[in-house]
Chains A and B, each alone.
Chain A
Amino acid sequence: MRPQYEKKYKIPKPTRRKKIMNIVYLMTILLVFEAIGLMLIVFPRSEVSELEKRELAKFPEFTAETYFSGEYTEGISKWFSDTVPFRDQLMEMSYALRDLKGFSEGGSEIKLHGVGGTVQPESRPEQTSKPDIDEPVSKPAEDDTETIDSSATDTETAETIETEESGNAPIDIPDEEAPNEHDAVDIKNNGVAVVGSGADTRALMLYGGSYNVGEAYAKVINKYKEALGEGVNVYSMVIPTAVEFYSPRELDAYSASQLDNINWVIENLSDDVKAVDVYTPLSQHTSEYIYTRTDHHWAALGAYYAAQKFAEVAGVPFMDISEYEQKVVHDYVGSMYTYSDYDPNVKNNPEDFIYYVPNNVDYTATYYEYILGEDGSITGMAAPDEGSYFWRYSDGSGLAYCTYMGGDSKIVHVKTDTDNGRRLAIFKDSYGNAIPPYLFGSFEEIIVIDMRYFTYNAVDYLNENGITDVLFANNAFHAATASTVRYYENFLTQ
């Protein structure tokens, strides 16, 4: 009954020719196998991936415990596969190979990565119902394990950094600086779309935000206003991201409306909190370079229009863009290359990262750097250090957005030569990093606080520093993410 595909022990004696065929085949394939094997074993192992912006796996330490739990052997397998020689180059080949599995349609040129389904249209919660702040807030952050990095971790690039103005005084980047585990992608994204071709290629993170977190976000800002009292102005600026303006129609069903969510936040702000509508000015300038194409951030010009709007709402003077000097980091390929699972279209269409440095302003920026442990958590703070607000990255660096303060895990105090009694604190995600340069002529002091890295009580800290204006500047993803609200809640009580 059993199927017999090979007659055992009765294999016909191979002919001489067959034998030669076998030997030729065997010798050749063995040669290929050995060549690859030798390449993998002989050459030095990689330690850092610039592509993924992370340190690669380390050879595990042997203990009886790690051995019997299987961690040790698993660690060796992982180490071997993670640290192959020439890893980044091979990875790029690997992703180029993967890209052969299909094609993007002729006209629309849209490629989707990890898009799971339609975004369900939302109905507004009834106005009368009490907002349940605790529920969304207590949800665990979505994907804290994803590493994206806005802080300078890659050593090679870090070495080329020098301060913009003082020229030869390099900023020390502490070795401990670990990838920022919490940045932009622990957020409600619905996958990534790469649209367009050539110099119009644009990678977009699709939006999956929801109303209930937006409501909680507004409420926590209201709490700040309540706690700070009448003497302090509180502003909320929710910044739309590129998907809102550059997403083709086909993707409408897969990315929720940021405008609706932004308006929903505004509706839930108390009357004492001033909403800064940056959506309108940004939507009027979409033909300009207001968003990066290959990074998940906006571009300097977008932040300029947003800052302009903020200055108008806050009633402070504002310097025109003509008073700035334009600088460029060429051949920039940002984080979306990673988020798009290494879509070659993103890699092959780098952009010029343009930013603006004020010409005639004297300021000092004091850095209070947090020291981070291996898991990205705060373990201490370095001694205060003065430096430029702008860090210089070389052409081709994937970290160009870190031009602003070199990343997120720090508090930065900027003292300007303005003298108008106004002192601003900005609570922000990495989008907010690009705003302060346009306000050096608007405020006496600007304190930049990241929502993930702040260990003081917010009210005490703001009062001690004599803050008159508090701006919450977060992108629409973070304004719809439960962990954002949780961070801001904690700042009030910690």
Chain B
Amino acid sequence: MIFADLLFLYIFIPAVAVCYALARYLDLALFSPSKHGSHFAQPQLHNPLQNGVLVIFSLLFYAWGEPIYVMLMIASVIVNYFIGLALARNHSKAVLILGLVFNIAVIGVFKYADFLVETINLLGFGIPLPKIALPIGISFFTFQTMSYLFDVYRGDAKVQRSFVNLLLYISMFPQLIAGPIVRYDTIANEINTRSISFDDIAEGSFRFLIGLGKKVILANQLSELSSQFLDGDVTALSAGSAWLGILAYTLQIYFDFSGYSDMAIGMGRCFGFHFDENFNYPYISSTITEFWRRWHISLGSFFRDYVYIPMGGNRKHQPLNIMVVWFLTGLWHGASWNFVLWGVYFGIIIMLEKYTILKVRDKIPSFILHIYSLFLIIFGWVLFYFTDFEKIGQFICSMFGGGAAGGWDYLAQNALTSNLWLIIASILCCIPFGRFIRSFYDESGTVRSAGFAAFMTAAKTVCAAALLIASTLLLIGDTNNPFLYLRF
């Protein structure tokens, strides 16, 4: 099941909301700390019913799309549960390595087996491809299990003695299949005990609607524009068409992925969880280094804290550490060499930036830095989009006027005007314009006049209702709109 789906919105969400509310009511009545004496006596018992409801719905959610692989996920959690317990007992590095090897083996077999065999076959072998179907979200949930082992090993978080609670951490449906990669120490406490205020539900639901709108209103429409130009014969494109196509994809992937993160964070908040942010207006970055602090933050920080720093960070062989991290970042995105190329491309740029731009950054006018960054980011999406290296070459050729249609043609002009409002709205949503408006709303809750508060509340409500109605309309009849990041 995916979030941008009528069945999810209008059947699954109401069902989980009603059950969760009921469970919360019963939890408060039966397991409230006040009725059991000391607050610290049985911390796990604060919300067993709520956690149970979430686990059941999460498994249902996953099994909806993966009726068989749901067993794989549960099995993986069982293994990690026992490894976690062992780690808690003796903090042994050997146990940690054993656990990591297990998790890497899982993702290796189910995500990279074909890729590995294909690569080996390039050397002249003829091993048949295993052709194992990719379980949805495996890249996300195995990274979460690894984060759990790391955090327990390092003592950043206490071991989870309740299997159901660990299963909840891994399988929680808001972030299960497309992130953000929630690290165990982020929500370890909230799994055991959490509060939910009106503010949480109001903010969470609004955040969810923003994400839904990003996906359904912006990303889905942009995908028509991008596929118009990128999915056909790229040698027939004019430079204008090629740039429009890749610009549309640049916007599409951001709204698609950050929209999903918004929905995840929003739903999490409604259930009382506070996930870390995953995006922070990445396209306003002035350097590539900054871009990667703003784009898919949960992945970047995962590699930083669990690979880069343990390898020695900037103290020992930093260039090697950087390249390893970026090789892995690329590979994480897909079992194909173009993703590796894409990762290494950014690794090299970031390394070069360390010795050049970052040192003289203040002396360069910022608009030049923005143009520089955007150019490299957009160019990166070319490497990311085409899995076929020959097509990458052809497309780059067309981008610079080497295609059959030259520099600019009627098709580009027509696509530009017939999508102009969409493009302008998308660009506006890439800059912190919304945050600016949002600040008025936040102020109105405290310092502004009551009239202004009423106006802002009305504005927010109308905005939310418009997002919901427009998204629902656009979803009708649109049965095929998977999230891009589901395949990673």
A residues within 8 Å of B by Cβ?
A: 1-6, 8, 11, 14-15, 17-19, 21-26, 28-29, 32-33, 36-37, 40-41, 57, 67-70, 73-74, 76-78, 80-82, 84, 87, 90-91, 93-94, 97-98, 100-105, 110-112, 114-118, 120, 250-251, 253-254
Contact = CB atoms under 8 A, between A and B. Distances in A.
Given A2-B276, A253-B410, A22 B202 contact: yes
B10 A117 contact: no
B279 to A, nearest CB: 11
A93 B471 CA distance: 12
Given A32-B469, A103-B420, A117 B445 contact: no
Contacts of A2: 276, 301, 305
Given A117-B405, A250-B410, A29 B465 contact: yes
Contacts of B65: 70, 73-74
Given A2-B301, A117-B411, A37 B199 contact: no
Contacts of A254: 410-411
Given A5-B276, A87-B476, A101 B221 contact: yes
B221 A40 contact: no
Contacts, number: 201
Contact of A23 (B9, B198, B405, B465): B198
A18 B447 CA distance: 11
B420 A102 contact: yes
Given A36-B468, A118-B236, A25 B202 contact: yes
22 contacts: A4-B276, A5-B280, A8-B274, A14-B197, A17-B445, A17-B453, A18-B199, A22-B198, A33-B468, A36-B469, A68-B67, A68-B68, A70-B65, A73-B1, A77-B64, A78-B479, A102-B422, A103-B417, A116-B232, A116-B236, A117-B237, A253-B411
A-B CB proximity, top 6 nearest: A117-B236, A116-B232, A101-B422, A18-B445, A22-B202, A102-B418
B199 A81 contact: no
A81 B450 contact: no
Contacts of B90: none
Nearest to B198: A22
B411 A115 contact: yes
Interface in B430-488: 444-446, 450, 453, 456-457, 460-461, 464-465, 468-470, 472-479
A100 B421 contact: yes
B201 A26 contact: yes
Contacts of B456: 21
Given A41-B10, A110-B414, A17 B405 contact: no
Interface in B136-155: none
A196 B253 CA distance: 34
A11 B199 contact: yes
Contacts of A81: 5-7, 475-479
A6 B274 contact: yes
Interface of B: 1, 5-7, 9-11, 14, 63-68, 197-199, 201-202, 205-206, 209, 221, 228-229, 231-233, 236-237, 241, 274, 276-277, 280, 293, 297, 301, 304-305, 404-405, 409-411, 413-423, 444-446, 450, 453, 456-457, 460-461, 464-465, 468-470, 472-479
Given A21-B445, A94-B473, A3 B280 contact: yes
Contacts of B465: 28-29, 32
B477 A21 contact: no
A98 B474 contact: yes
Contacts of B66: 70
Nearest to A25: B461
B418 A14 contact: no
Nearest to A111: B418
Contacts of B64: 73, 77
B30 to A, nearest CB: 25
Contacts of A253: 405, 409-411
Contacts of A57: 479
A22 B199 contact: yes
A28 B479 CA distance: 28
A81 B479 CA distance: 7
A45 to B, nearest CB: 12
A24 to B, nearest CB: 5
B10 A82 contact: no
Given A18-B446, A117-B411, A29 B464 contact: yes
A15 B476 contact: no
Contacts of B229: 116-117
Contacts of B468: 29, 32-33, 36
Given A24-B457, A101-B422, A116 B228 contact: yes
A1 B301 CA distance: 9
A26 B277 contact: no
B75 to A, nearest CB: 17
A81 to B, nearest CB: 5
A73 B67 contact: yes
B419 A101 contact: yes
A105 B414 contact: yes
Given A18-B445, A81-B5, A91-B476, A118 B405 contact: yes
